């Protein structure tokens, strides 16, 4: 007589065990194929893109220890001093163009371009300053500032570390000859 084992409810029989094993194998095969097809895209595995779980840490280059800016100092015939930034020269916000005009006004490579830039700069600055007296001299100064990244504010604009005069010109230097 054959021995029959009676399984308690919840246990799989032999044939059910084979079916369960086959189901696990198929599930693992689908998982492995799916993983190989999907690849290593971050959209598929968002957990690896999270800063908490990924090994990536942001790295930033340290700030420059000093920065510099050009400043125009405009003297009138009455002796008044007006400080003008190059970005204030044009009435429309075109910083790169206004910086280019200031650079060309103090560049000796092309004298014709330099004189044209100086005439334009003289007219633009006199429109900006709007004084009763005429402009006598325009000086270009290079100001350097120390950068303290952890301080608030990081740059002290009222206290430059160095001031170097680049060049200057007067109204007589650019007088047009008829």
- Given a cut of 50, whether residue 117 has pLDDT beyond it is yes
- Given a cut of 60, whether residue 138 has pLDDT beyond it is yes
- Given a cut of 60, whether residue 178 has pLDDT beyond it is no
pLDDT for position 165: 94
How does residue 168 score in pLDDT terms, banded at 50, 70 and 90? very high
Q: In what helix (H) or strand (E) does residue 21 lie, and over which residues does it extend?
A: helix 14-38
E strand map for 77-157: 81-84, 135-146
Q: Taking residues 20-34, what's their average pLDDT? A: 89
Q: Taking residues 55-80, what's their average pLDDT? A: 82
More confident position, 120 or 89: 120
More confident position, 78 or 1: 78
Q: Taking residues 70-98, what's their average pLDDT? A: 84
Buried residues in 87-121 as b, exposed as e (16+ CB within 10 A): bebeeeeeeeebbebbebbbeeeeeeebbebbebb
More confident position, 12 or 90: 90
| Sign of the dihedral through C-alpha 163, 166, 172, 174 | negative
pLDDT for position 49: 63
- Given a cut of 70, whether residue 121 has pLDDT beyond it is yes
């Amino acid at each position: 007589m054959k021995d029959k084992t009676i399984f308690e409810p919840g246990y799989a029989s032999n044939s059910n065990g084979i079916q369960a094993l086959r189901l696990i194998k198929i599930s693992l095969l689908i998982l492995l194929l799916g993983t190989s097809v999907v690849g290593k895209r971050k959209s598929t595995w968002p957990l690896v893109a999270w800063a908490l779980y990924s090994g990536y840490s942001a790295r930033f280059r340290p700030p420059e220890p000093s920065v510099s800016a050009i400043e125009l100092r405009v003297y009138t015939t009455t002796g008044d001093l007006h400080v003008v930034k190059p970005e204030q020269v044009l009435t429309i916000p075109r910083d790169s163009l206004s910086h280019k005009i200031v650079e060309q006004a103090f560049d000796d490579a092309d004298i014709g371009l330099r004189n044209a830039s100086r005439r334009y700069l003289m007219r633009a600055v006199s429109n900006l300053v709007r004084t009763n007296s005429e402009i006598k001299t325009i000086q270009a100064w290079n100001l350097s500032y120390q950068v303290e990244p952890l301080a608030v504010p990081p740059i002290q604009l009222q206290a430059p570390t160095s001031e170097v005069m680049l060049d200057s010109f007067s109204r007589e230097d650019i007088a047009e000859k008829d």
